[in-house]
Amino acid sequence: MKYRIHPGNERRTINFIDNICFSHVKDLDGAPLDLYLSLMVQNGNSEMRLASGRDDEVSTGLQPLIVWINGAGWRRCDKNLMSAELEYFAEQGYAVAFIQYRHSGQGHFPAQLIDCKTAVRYLRSHAAMYGIDSDRIIAMGRSAGGHLASWMAMNTDEFDSEEWADTSSRVQAAVDFFGPVDIRQCNLVEIEKMKDPHHRWHRLEETHGGALLGGDPDTMIDRSDAASPIHAIHKNMAPIMILHGDQDPLVPLAISEDFYDRLVAAGLENQSELCVVENGGHGTRELFQVEVKERVVSFLRKHVK
């Protein structure tokens, strides 16, 4: 069979660049550790450029950047795990970076936040190379990554490393997918669950929040507030969207509702949104349906011009 089709050329080409080293840090034992990111971006006919030195796609200009932060309880997680789900945003014209950060076995808080801020500064420093608009950077993450994305929204001058120090780590917006933004409340939930002898953990230091904090177990509850973005809200923070399923068995919806209420109380209602996803569990497919992603894009287009 021989035939001809006429698909047009409306859809732009999306490329995936992996294993970009953005930071050199040390783990808990003092051993050197390199951190990597990958980038999904509409940047033309890359193979043609490599083969012939030219490109047949006209650039659409600098693209806003989403910095995606994975979860998994701040434990080990492949940076590219959610890349297929995030292709939707690349189709909408956003470059998407997937970043690695020190997991709780490699560093205690604030190591994870330091790494996220370093990734933003690296990408801003190399914006021209990758076709990124350095004035439009969004932090976005799920679960533990939502906690870190919410911290990024605070745009605090703390937790900056010396790498790429001549560039800002500020973001213009953040999206928090069901993040445990109140570590104290999450730890108290785990303590209650540990009354059941069949629960997965039997000591607070074994939990996700406990492993994140490290140190003396007797002071973990008190120290948890300093690791919780819900206690860092201020009037100059970036706009933030919170998404949470109403059936989440791991991070209670009440945590995100409290976070939103505190944002409103701080006078930030016009730049804050809470989207409660009906029947959504902890990262279940309800949270990543097209309607949900459309609402995220609508929020970003409203607040990141």
Nearest one of 237, 263, 228 to 172, comparing CA atoms: 237
Which parts of the chain fold into alpha helices (H)? Answer: 46-52, 83-91, 111-125, 127-130, 144-153, 183-193, 208-213, 220-223, 253-265, 290-303
Q: Could you give the CA distance from residue 83 to residue 95 in angstroms, rounded to a whole number?
A: 12
Q: Could you give the CA distance from residue 112 to residue 123 in angstroms, rounded to a whole number?
A: 17
* Helix/strand/coil for 152: helix
Q: Record the pTM.
A: 0.95
Complete DSSP assignment for 89-126: HHHTT-EEEEE----TTT--TTHHHHHHHHHHHHHHHT
> Quick one: which H or E segment has residue 33?
strand 32-41
The angle at the Cα of 202, spanning 196 to 207, to the nearest 5 degrees, equals 115
Peptide bond into 239 cis (omega under 30): no
The pLDDT assigned to 60 comes to 74
User: pLDDT (tens digit, 9 = 90+) per residue, 210-255?
Assistant: 999 999 999 999 999 999 999 999 999 999 999 999 999 999 999 9
From first to last of its 305 residues, what are the pLDDT tens digits of the chain?
A: 999 999 888 888 889 999 999 999 999 999 999 999 999 999 755 665 655 556 666 667 899 999 999 999 999 999 999 999 999 999 999 999 999 999 999 999 999 999 999 999 999 999 999 999 999 999 999 999 999 999 999 999 889 999 999 999 999 999 999 999 999 999 999 999 999 999 999 999 999 999 999 999 999 999 999 999 999 999 999 999 999 999 999 999 999 999 999 999 999 999 999 999 999 999 999 999 999 999 999 999 999 98
* Inter-CA distances, 132 with 45, 73, 170, Å: 17, 30, 15
Domain map of the chain by residue range? 15-50+60-181+228-303, 183-227
The pLDDT assigned to 33 comes to 98
Q: Could you give the CA distance from residue 110 to residue 204 in angstroms, rounded to a whole number?
A: 19
Q: Which residues pair with 63 in a beta bridge?
A: 132
CA atoms lying within 13 Å on the CB side of residue 202: 2
The domain 15-50+60-181+228-303 is placed in CATH, from the list 3.40.640.10, 2.40.170.20, 3.40.50.1820, 3.30.420.40, at 3.40.50.1820
User: pLDDT (tens digit, 9 = 90+) per residue, 136-170?
Assistant: 999 999 999 999 999 999 999 889 999 999 999 99
Q: Could you give the CA distance from residue 49 to residue 52 in angstroms, rounded to a whole number?
A: 5
131 Ramachandran zone, left/alpha/beta (phi>0; psi -120 to 50): left
Q: Are 139 and 64 in contact (CB under 8 A)?
A: no
Which residues have a Cβ under 8 Å from the Cβ of 112 and sit 6 or more positions away? 74, 101, 102, 103, 104, 144, 148, 212
The pLDDT assigned to 302 comes to 97
Which residues have a Cβ under 8 Å from the Cβ of 144 and sit 6 or more positions away? 69, 70, 71, 72, 73, 74, 75, 112, 179, 180, 208, 212
